[in-house]
Amino acid sequence: MRSVCLHLAVALSSLSFAACGGSTAGLAPVSVDGGAGGSGAGGGGGGVVDPGVADDAGVSGNCSESAKLIYLVTSSTSGGANELYSFNPTKPGRSAYTRVGALNCPSTSSPQTMGVDRTGTAWVFYSDGRLFKVDVASARCTATTFTYPGAGFDFTMGSGFTALGGDVTKETLFLVRNGLQRFDTTTLTKTFVGGSTATSGELTGGPDGKLFVFDPAGSGRLLEVNATSGATTPLHTFSAGTFSNVSAFAFARYAGSFYLFTAGTDATGLFPTNTRTTVFDPQTRATTIRDADIGVTVVGAGQSVCVPPPIF
């Protein structure tokens, strides 16, 4: 997944618009040696996965090592560089977040949603609708010829890879915008699958072939999406106040748990705050704040089908 769309509402004087993401000016890079702490509202270490589970990643083989982590993209409203980070849920606190590098994609807009394939390539859609391929090991960006038809100033979408039939050799990139769509990464064409045109938000999949959509700014729910029909089934509704004043969001899935990256709006109401990482365990239905502040604002997330499968 990954997937990993975000929605950012910004008010500038009398001009109001919706777009995906931005980060607070002057954010420092995430440290790789600090931020560990307990779970709960101020915690930095809650929801850490047992490191042993990572050995299950890519059990079907043919997966690059770099494809076994979650990846995050950040964006800067101050004109700074968009950046790529890796996120390893088996590590505590901020040590889980490692800066890969700046995204030098030839676009004046910002990353909007992303999915990661099993070769370690991130397919990153920007808010102008353009699609770029990014090497997750180096952050090197390559432009494609695809631009989402009709993409405009308020373009938002979700995207993520899943393994059809639970077979990681049959990974498929799906998009969610006015319903579910299948995207062919060879021909760069999309095909409408189905589902309600009201379905929107971020999308993620996994090695078990399932798809999920998350929109804290809308319904505040996690929905499971049928990859064949596009029909949605409610999975979980978060308690009121769990996600409030959301200006940017993304989510991904690792070992069956959901990692939800959300940012609020600062006192000016113009810019998003740093991201908070929340973990939702669908087995216990527990929602835990893993990291209250990761130091940057995440605007997209994604993981490949090579991450560990559900452990329950």
Residue with more model confidence, 5 or 222: 222
Cα separations in angstroms, 232 against 93, 180, 204, 213, 228: 33, 10, 13, 9, 11
Name beta bridge partners: 16.
11
Q: Kindly report, residue by residue over 43-86, the tens digit of the pLDDT.
A: 333 445 554 444 444 444 678 899 999 999 997 655 567 899 99
Taking 80 as the threshold, does the pLDDT of residue 3 lie above it? Answer: no
pLDDT of residue 282: 96
pLDDT of residue 113: 94
pLDDT of residue 197: 78
Q: How far apart are CA 143 and CA 132, in angstroms?
A: 5
Q: Kindly report, residue by residue over 174-200, the tens digit of the pLDDT.
A: 999 989 999 999 999 999 999 987 778
| Structural domains of the chain ordered from first start | 16-182+199-303 (2.120.10)
The DSSP result for 258-302, as a single string, is EEEEEE-B-TTSSSB---EEEEEETTTTEEEEEES--SS-EEEEE
Amino acid sitting at position 61: G
Taking 70 as the threshold, does the pLDDT of residue 271 lie above it? Answer: yes
Residue with more model confidence, 1 or 149: 149
Average pLDDT, whole number, for the chain? 81
Q: Kindly report, residue by residue over 90-147, the tens digit of the pLDDT.
A: 999 999 999 999 999 998 888 999 999 999 999 999 999 999 999 999 999 999 999 9
pLDDT of residue 83: 94
Q: What is the mean pLDDT of residues 230-236?
A: 94
pLDDT of residue 8: 34
Q: What is the mean pLDDT of residues 294-299?
A: 92
Residue with tokens 């920007």: 126
Q: What is the mean pLDDT of residues 29-46?
A: 36
Which of the 8 DSSP states describes residue 30?
P
pLDDT of residue 5: 37
pLDDT of residue 62: 77
Taking 50 as the threshold, does the pLDDT of residue 161 lie above it? Answer: yes
Residue with more model confidence, 222 or 196: 222
pLDDT band at 162 (very low <50, low <70, confident <90, very high): very high
User: Using CB atoms within 10 A of its CB, is residue 53 exposed (0-12), middle (13-18) or buried (19+)?
Assistant: middle
Residue with more model confidence, 3 or 214: 214
Structure tokens of 282? 């669908």
List phi, psi (to 5°) of 60.
Answer: -85, 0
CB atoms within 10 A of CB 20: 28
Percentage of the chain lying above the pLDDT 70 cut: 78
pLDDT of residue 165: 82
Taking 60 as the threshold, does the pLDDT of residue 42 lie above it? Answer: no
pLDDT band at 7 (very low <50, low <70, confident <90, very high): very low
Residue with tokens 């979700």: 158
Please say whether the beta carbons of 38 and 48 come within 8 A.
no
Taking 90 as the threshold, does the pLDDT of residue 32 lie above it? Answer: no
Amino acid sitting at position 159: S
**Of 164, 132, 134, nearest in space to 147 by CA:** 132
Q: Kindly report, residue by residue over 9-21, the tens digit of the pLDDT.
A: 333 332 222 233 3
**Of 126, 124, 81, nearest in space to 103 by CA:** 81
Percentage of the chain lying above the pLDDT 90 cut: 58
Q: What is the mean pLDDT of residues 204-229?
A: 90
| Strands 232-237, 141-147: pairing kind | unpaired
Taking 70 as the threshold, does the pLDDT of residue 262 lie above it? Answer: yes
pLDDT of residue 49: 53
